[in-house]
Amino acid sequence: MPIFRQIFDQISRQILTGQLQPGEQLPPIREFSTELKINPMTLSKVYSMLESEGFLERRRGIGLFVKKMGSSESSSVKTELAEEILKDAAVNISQLGIDEDVAMKIFSKHYKKYRNKPEE
């Protein structure tokens, strides 16, 4: 998976899970790209994608901030993200030759364990 996609997924998840709150400012591109050890153009692309997807809002001369989403918009984005995550998991599990019933039991066990807890 391309690095820009990995960073996009990470930041969007942080927004959807509340780790990044509405109104919170993201670090400047130059500073954050140095910290991540990536090309500033890569991070600029990520920020632009996040803005076009409705996760961020640009305040001229100030920077980029996490945008407040409506509950239906947030729910839709979360559903799309879950679909993508579970599709990838299903591909990996099927490639391992794991039976569907076993896979569902594993998923159910972990879902119950983590549904009300932050990621460990």
Q: How far, in Å, are 2, 72, 107 from residue 19 at the CA level? A: 23, 19, 24
- Residue 73 pLDDT exceeds 70: no
CATH topology of domain 3-66: Arc Repressor Mutant, subunit A (1.10.10)
DSSP 65: E
Cα 41 to Cα 29, 61, 99, distances in angstroms:
8, 19, 43
Tell me, what's the pLDDT at 119? 55
Predicted TM-score (pTM) of the model is 0.67
Listed by start position, the domains of the chain span 3-66, 71-114
Share of the chain above pLDDT 90, in %: 58
User: What length does the chain have?
Assistant: 120
Handedness of CA 54, 49, 15, 29 (dihedral sign): negative
Contact 38, 5 (CB under 8 A): no
Mean pLDDT over residues 88-101, rounded?
91
